[in-house]
Amino acid sequence: MAASDALFSGSIPALYEQYLVPLLFERYAEDLARRLADLRAGVVLEVAAGTGVVTRALLEALPPAVQIIATDLNEAMLRVGQTRASGPTVSWRQADAQQLPFDDAAVDAVLCQFGVMFFPDKRAGFREAWRVLRPGGRYVFNVWDRLEQNEVSEIVTRAVAVLFPSDPPRFFERAPFGYSEVAVIRQDLQSAGFSQIEIETVEKVSRAPSAEQVAIGLCQGTPLRGEIEARDATRLGEATAAATAALSARFGNGPFDNQMHAHVVTAQR
């Protein structure tokens, strides 16, 4: 991974929340929250919480006796999240998932939506989740399936690559869609001490409002933006327009269905 892959700062958090949360993350957030809905009390630790789409789903799904601690590496993302999910049962804290500032056996569940792929050392992140979980506690997370199984993101990746043929941006291939091998995920979890590992591939469909809004979200609301600007800071608009044109050629100019595939993982300490 590049050092910039996990850097969500500047205008990215607001664009991420506006465009990408409804496009990519809301449906899977509801799915993850449902998987913990049987908790009646205790503490849920959310890592890589981003702007809080899962946090909001947890607040809807869990009773007041469950405390939610939402953490993220990027303070800019946390600031957006705090404005959208607040109350007596939720707290926010900056934290690195690979070095969690919590005691051993302190929480009943650890949850992470589309964040594991960004851990530079995934086994270290898994060991930390195992450490802070109480015996019998659950680690629930999801990761994207292969880029080829997520057509919208693949189209944008290819469209932007055409603009930089000698050095195409590889953010989506390398980071969000770079940890999709089920056997590797299972092995990494087992090495951290987890057992009873279940991995399910889940398809979700969202409604994209337009090709342009999808292109803005993916080109300007993710670290792909930094990769484009590092190559030529003047071409972000051109890259967004190229992505818009490619999406329009496939789906038209109006709203369209965005089909997504992700692996949902549940493991027990």
Q: What is the pLDDT of residue 16?
A: 96
Nearest to 73 by CA among 133, 104, 39, 118: 118
Superfamily (CATH) of domain 3-268: Vaccinia Virus protein VP39 (3.40.50.150)
Distance, in Å, from the CA atom of 77 to the CA atom of 249, rounded to the nearest integer, reads 33
Cα 221 to the chain's mean position, in Å? 13
Phi/psi-derived region of residue 82, left when phi > 0, alpha when psi is between -120 and 50, beta in every other case: alpha
User: Residue 3: its pLDDT value, please?
Assistant: 63
- In the predicted model, residues of the chain with pLDDT beneath 50 are none
- Measuring CA to CA, how many Å separate 18 from each of 26, 57, 242? 12, 17, 21
Bridge partners of residue 44, in order along the sequence: 68, 109
Give, in order, the Cα–Cα distances in Å from 50 to each of 75, 106, 113, 162.
9, 22, 9, 30
**What pLDDT, on a 0 to 100 scale, did the predictor assign at position 1?**
65
Q: Which two tokens stand for residue 248?
A: 């329009």
Assign 36 to helix, strand or coil. coil
Q: 252 in the Ramachandran plot: left (φ > 0), alpha (ψ -120 to 50) or beta? A: left
Domain boundaries, the chain: 3-268
- Evaluate whether 258 touches 23 at the Cβ level (below 8 Å): yes
Task: Look at the pTM and tell me if it is higher than 0.85.
Answer: yes
